[in-house]
Structure 1
């Protein structure tokens, strides 16, 4: 299977939703979020991308923040979904599914029309 890095423009549009999804299982911290997103196939995200996004999510009230002591090292800032964050995630997933269906239908239609034009 040919794995390609996701288109950065497409990723920008869904990154907030993907980050919220990483918090469904419970509180997590920035490095763990980037690791989960990379494992999901979204590529390597830099701290300069993820931390400002997390700050915006906090400002919007979609995540809460808690500092926890580190195990023999510095403390970590943990992020957890709030009730508003869970609602936002649910609505974003519904919107994504509708958008994905629309685009997939369009691309499939365009593909059929292009093939018909070539063979005509």
Structure 2
């Protein structure tokens, strides 16, 4: 979901996505966990890739979301919000009953 959300903002290559994820607070994310996600998203038709020549070395493979990927992002955000609502409810202490005086 996070990879698709970042790609919705702008096309990126793999290492750039890693640094963008780190910039939003996932400091411990490793490149080894992002590339398999990109491979799966591309295989499933949620992202597409294209090569851009680089003056600093070999061409970079950039990724962008497809229409199906953007639909998946919407569905995943809904599911996340539903889960977040349940977790928040479960973690919220119940109100203390008011003491009744006779």
Fold-level similarity (TM above 0.5) = yes
The whole-number CA distance in structure 2 between the counterparts of 1:26 and 1:69 is 18
The whole-number CA distance in structure 2 between the counterparts of 1:58 and 1:72 is 25
Number of aligned positions between the proteins: 96
TM-score, normalization by structure 2: 0.86
Deviations 1:7-61 (A, max 9, x none): xxxxxxxxxx011111012311111111111111112322211111100000000
| Structure 2 equivalent of residue 60 of structure 1 | 44
| Structure 2 equivalent of residue 8 of structure 1 | none
Which residue, 20, 28, 33 being the options, matches 1:44? 28
Q: Which has the larger radius of gyration?
A: 2
Query: Gaps (5+ residues) in structure 2?
Result: 97-102
Pair 1:98-2:63 in alignment: no
Query: Gaps (5+ residues) in structure 1?
Result: 1-16
Aligned CA-pair RMSD: 1.4
Higher relative contact order, structure no. (Cα contacts within 8 Å, ≥ 6 residues apart): 2
Q: Of Structure 1 and Structure 2, which has the larger fraction of its residues in strand?
A: 2
**Compared CA separation, residues 43 and 72, structure 1 to 2 (3 A):** closer
